[in-house]
Amino acid sequence: MLRNGINARTAKAGDSVYFETAYPIAQNNRIVIPMGSFVRGKILESKRPGLIKGRGDFAWFLSR
């Protein structure tokens, strides 16, 4: 669940995003991030929406 607002018109690479996990995240049958954890990440790139039509898009990654 996204905890801070992101606006496609103003977001840029390097901006921080904060999430809270709604489900536990597992890797190799082990829970590595429990449910309810807060996770921080950064926007890698963003595409602004068009003036008339089109949608914005984000690429992001989780920080350790």
pLDDT in tens, 8-58: 677 778 888 888 899 998 999 999 989 999 888 888 777 666 666 666 666
SS3 content of the chain, % helix, strand, coil (to 5): 0, 45, 55
Our separate counts of H helices and E strands in the chain read: 0, 5
- Cα(45)–Cα(28) distance, rounded to whole angstroms? 29
pLDDT at 64 over 60: no
Q: Count CA atoms closer than 13 A to 53's CA, side-chain side.
A: 0
State the virtual CA torsion across 44, 23, 40, 4 in degrees, nearest 10: 90
pLDDT at 31: 93
pLDDT at 4 over 60: yes
pLDDT at 43: 80
